[in-house]
Amino acid sequence: MSAHSGGGESWTVCRGPIGQDGAMGRGETDHDDRLFVTDAIRIPRFELSESFTASGGPGGQHANKAATRVELTFDVETSSAFRHEVQRQRVIDRLGSPIRVVVDDERSQVRNRDIAQQRLVAKLRGAVAVQARRRATRPTRGSQRRRLDEKSRRSEVKNQRKRPRHDD
């Protein structure tokens, strides 16, 4: 699909699923053409939706005419990439659904697509990660002593600020 807004201000080029030509780089793709997030989560490319628009900003005619800005959308709720419902719910709780990544860092549409996919992977990895629980530890004897010494010092400072009492 291609749409043009009058006066040459903005172009929108929408394309459905990312096909075979979607270059990934840095080992982010796997042999079965899925976006590799973790060993348990691999997103089929047809579940990703891309749209391209003019990025604007500096760059002259190229920036104004070429549709290099990439918007990558991934619907977590309907995805088949999650084996475990717990992971899906964790991602929805932390990032919501759908997840949207917008990139217009580079002048190249292909490079912006790669960056968008890498950022989506990074977001998903962060959302799926389970944080280790803090193990409660007892304060050391030295830290307890220092805390009580500091409390005594503060108490003494505050007592020095009081008016002297007349004991008659």
**Averaged in consecutive runs of 10 residues, what is the pLDDT profile of the chain (168 residues)?**
43 41 42 75 84 77 79 86 83 85 84 90 86 90 96 94 78
Q: What angle do CA 67, 72, 76 make, to 5 degrees?
A: 165
Q: How much is the pLDDT for 168?
A: 55
Is the pTM of the predicted complex or chain greater than 0.75?
A: no
Dist. CA 61–CA 42, nearest whole Å: 38
User: Rounded to 5 degrees, what angle do the CA atoms 12, 109, 39 make?
Assistant: 110
Q: What is the pLDDT of residue 26?
A: 42
pLDDT, residue 103, reads: 87
Q: For tokens 């304060």, name the residue.
A: 139
pLDDT at 155: 94
Q: What is the DSSP letter of 130?
A: P
Question: What is the per-residue pLDDT for 141?
Answer: 95
Q: Which architecture, in CATH terms, is 2-128?
A: 2-Layer Sandwich (3.30)
Listed in sequence order, the DSSP H helices in 21-108 are 60-65, 85-95
Place of tokens 């929408």: 14
Residues facing 11 on adjacent strands: 4
pLDDT for the residue 32:
65
Extents of the domains making up the chain: 2-128
Give 29's strand partners: 35
